[in-house]
Amino acid sequence: MVRRSMDELDRAIMEALSVDARTSNRRLAAQLDVTEGTVRARIKRMEDEGQIHITALTNIDLLRNPTLVYIWIEVERSEQSDSVARQLAAVPEIGFVGKMLGRFDLLAITLVQNNAELADFLHRNVSGVKGVRRTECSLGVKFVKHDYRMSRIVHSEQVSEG
């Protein structure tokens, strides 16, 4: 599959959808001064090539008692980092997994409603993963700013072939 780099029109469509993914193709076409078919084809191509993924996001500001949990993970051996990261990434409740530099090897982020749910989650989904030596949690208890668009995909301008 040849993945094309995004041009100005692709970026304009992506930007509009990042504000409101339910905007109709007709409205986008009118805003961007192109045909509806062009918008539809561009969105389909970007989805097919994995450049965008349109989905619904939970507004954590509306949850009853959201606690954002940063789970810092130390692995037993550094060569286990990729395997542990893949296993954690497969857990549906974990929204972010990243390899880190510094005191811990990995960071996983999730949301829980209370301490009991956190303890159960850690025992059920994290501590038992082969290669996890220890974990430490940091809790986000008050959200000063939460911009859901921060998870928007950022693309390189290179054309890749695969």
Per-residue pLDDT, 11: 92
Is the separation of the CB atoms in 41 and 9 below 8 Å?
no
| 95 and 47 in a common domain | no
Query: Which pTM does this prediction carry?
Result: 0.62
148, part of any domain: no
Is the dihedral angle over the CA atoms 149, 66, 99, 145 positive or is it negative?
positive
| 102 and 129 in a common domain | yes
| 67 and 43 in a common domain | no
41, part of any domain: yes
Q: How many whole angstroms from its chain centre is CA 34? A: 30
What's the domain count of the chain? 2
Spell out the per-residue pLDDT of the chain, length 162, in tens. Answer: 566 788 999 999 998 998 888 999 999 999 999 999 999 999 999 999 988 888 776 666 666 667 889 999 999 999 999 999 999 999 988 989 999 999 999 999 998 888 899 999 999 999 999 999 999 999 987 777 766 555 443 333 333 333
| 69 and 41 in a common domain | no
| 70 and 30 in a common domain | no
Q: Phi, psi (5° rounding) for residue 21?
A: -70, -10
| 69 and 48 in a common domain | no
Contacts of 114 (CB under 8 A, 6+ apart): 65, 67
